[in-house]
């Protein structure tokens, strides 16, 4: 099996599973219990929080564990929008954010919020100047990605955050870091809230975190026993949190070496695809090395996906939450590119566990099956 859908989810690193196992079996205590089993679990959560905070240069208490990035995004955006609601109800985001961001913003419209959706260029780039020009006197929140999950575009969030704060320090800046954390360095100097996911970095599913900068006071998500600094009550998922902490530690161990390895894979894949007739690369050349979105013109993306599956190669046609739907990804729909490109695009997601041999094998399969498919697909199905 050649797994190239790491933007959707990643296989669990065996070292992560090894560290999680004792908390399923022997150290199963409730972290709120005062006896030894509870204290063991509490210490495990503390260690995980420190592991995740370290590469962020954040204070451990600034991290709240959640069930994943979707929860962190929903909670972070809703809570941040309401902090300054007396000032106004204007939010800025982009048209190619993850559906969790877009759906949350759409839901806030029912509470009277006005949403500005910035339009990207052909490679999915949204520029700092666009954001600054969109700011209004009643803007309370800017919510943007760190890295686009379908195209791999890296947003200039550090520069943007600083310029937003210069223009209006009261505006909160939320960043969806699901595709950035664990894959590249993160600078939270000018970020107020940052969402993360365990499953994107070879950790377990069902766990994530929300970074909340000190001094930002948001409403609790859940009320009850007061866990997670009273912000998210409920007994913590200790094994998953332990796994997330270990995955973060592994991701940032020799992170630049990992990035260099993945970059070589990305470059080889890009070159190999360029060598096939009638192809188009949707991802920018300066995007993150883990993502390559490309189109094989004349072949519907879903058809190619399933043909690759027959070859035991796994890719996607877009965001995992949309892959089962027939419609074109909202990200590609927002780009000023042809419908032929939009309909024939697939996404390849690489990780540090992939090898050059896997990439080379995949290229050979592409070279063999793409001409075959073009010969059998009716022309009226291509556009």
Question: Could you read off the pLDDT of 158-169 as tens digits, one per residue?
Answer: 999 999 999 999
Which strands, in side-by-side order, build the sheet including 345-349? 279-281, 291-296, 345-349
Does some domain include residue 359?
Answer: yes
The domain in which residue 102 lies consists of 14-252
Does some domain include residue 52?
Answer: yes
- Give me the CATH number covering residue 338: 3.90.1150.10
Does some domain include residue 6?
Answer: no
The answer to whether the beta carbons of residues 149 and 319 sit under 8 Å apart is yes
Q: Are residues 218 and 327 in the same domain?
A: no
Does some domain include residue 128?
Answer: yes
pLDDT of residue 32: 85
Q: Are residues 107 and 225 in the same domain?
A: yes
* Residue that finishes a domain, picked among 214, 237, 252: 252
Q: Are residues 119 and 202 in the same domain?
A: yes
Does some domain include residue 192?
Answer: yes
Q: Are residues 340 and 243 in the same domain?
A: no
Q: Which residues pair with 296 in a beta bridge?
A: 279
Does some domain include residue 7?
Answer: no
Does some domain include residue 279?
Answer: yes
Q: Are residues 264 and 221 in the same domain?
A: no
Tell me the catalytic residues: 321
Q: Are residues 149 and 221 in the same domain?
A: yes
pLDDT of residue 154: 97
Distance between CA atoms of residues 296 and 366, nearest Å: 10
Within a 13 Å sphere around the CA of 159, how many CA atoms are in the beta-carbon half?
10
pLDDT of residue 347: 97
pLDDT of residue 328: 84
Q: Are residues 241 and 276 in the same domain?
A: no
Distance between CA atoms of residues 305 and 316, nearest Å: 6
- Give me the CATH number covering residue 69: 3.40.640.10
Q: Are residues 305 and 364 in the same domain?
A: yes
Crossing angle of the two packed helices 356-376 and 301-310, in degrees rounded to 10: 120
Q: Are residues 88 and 178 in the same domain?
A: yes
Q: Are residues 218 and 231 in the same domain?
A: yes
* Residue that finishes a domain, picked among 252, 280, 306: 252
Q: Which residues contact 114 (CB under 8 A, 6 or more apart)?
A: 89, 90, 91, 138
Does some domain include residue 1?
Answer: no
pLDDT less than 70: residues of the chain: 319-327, 378-383
* Residue that finishes a domain, picked among 252, 270, 287: 252
- Of 67, 100, 255, nearest to 174 by C-alpha is 100
pLDDT of residue 324: 47
Tell me the per-residue pLDDT of 88-124, one tens digit each, with 9 for 90 and over.
999 999 999 999 999 999 999 999 999 999 999 999 9
Distance between CA atoms of residues 280 and 301, nearest Å: 13
Q: Are residues 260 and 218 in the same domain?
A: no
pLDDT of residue 377: 80
The answer to whether the beta carbons of residues 269 and 363 sit under 8 Å apart is yes
CA terminus-to-terminus distance, the chain = 31
Global confidence as pTM: 0.94
319, containing H or E segment: none
Entry field: residues in the chain? 383
Number of domains comprising the chain:
2
pLDDT of residue 381: 52
Q: 63-66 and 208-212 as β-strands: parallel, antiparallel, unpaired?
A: antiparallel
Q: Are residues 344 and 222 in the same domain?
A: no
């Amino acid at each position: 099996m050649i797994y190239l859908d790491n933007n959707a989810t990643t296989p669990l690193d065996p070292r992560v599973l090894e560290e999680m196992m004792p908390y399923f079996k022997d150290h199963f205590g409730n972290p709120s219990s005062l006896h030894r089993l509870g204290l063991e679990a509490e210490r495990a959560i503390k260690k995980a929080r420190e592991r995740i905070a370290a590469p962020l240069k954040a204070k451990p208490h600034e991290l709240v564990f959640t069930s994943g990035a979707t929860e962190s995004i929903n909670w972070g955006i809703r809570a941040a929008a309401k902090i300054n609601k007396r000032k106004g109800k204007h939010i800025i985001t982009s048209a190619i954010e993850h559906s969790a961001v877009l759906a949350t913003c759409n839901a806030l419209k029912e509470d009277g919020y006005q949403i500005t959706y910035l339009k990207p260029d052909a490679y999915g780039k949204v520029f700092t100047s666009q954001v600054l020009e969109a700011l209004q006197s009643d803007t309370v929140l800017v919510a943007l990605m760190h890295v686009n999950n379908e195209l791999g575009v890296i947003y200039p969030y550090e520069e943007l955050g600083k310029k937003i704060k210069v223009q209006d320090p009261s505006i909160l800046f939320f960043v969806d870091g699901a595709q950035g954390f664990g894959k590249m360095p993160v600078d939270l100097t000018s970020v107020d809230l940052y969402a993360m996911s365990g499953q994107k970095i070879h950790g377990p599913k069902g766990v994530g975190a929300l970074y909340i900068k000190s001094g930002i006071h948001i409403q609790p998500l859940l009320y009850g026993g007061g866990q997670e600094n009273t912000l998210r009550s409920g007994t913590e998922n200790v094994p998953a949190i332990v796994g997330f902490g270990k995955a973060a530690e592994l991701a940032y161990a020799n992170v630049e070496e990992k990035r260099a390895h993945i970059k070589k894979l990305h470059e080889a894949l890009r070159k190999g695809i360029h060598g096939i007739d009638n192809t188009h690369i949707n991802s920018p050349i300066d995007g993150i090395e883990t993502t390559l979105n490309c189109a094989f013109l004349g072949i519907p993306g879903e058809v190619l996906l399933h043909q690759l599956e027959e070859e035991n190669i796994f890719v996607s046609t877009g965001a995992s939450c949309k892959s089962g739907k027939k419609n074109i990804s909202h990200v590609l729909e927002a780009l000023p590119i042809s419908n032929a490109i939009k309909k024939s695009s697939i996404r390849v997601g690489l990780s540090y566990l992939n090898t050059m041999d896997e990439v080379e094998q995949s290229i050979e399969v592409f070279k063999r099956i793409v001409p075959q498919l073009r010969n059998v697909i009716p022309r009226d199905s291509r556009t």
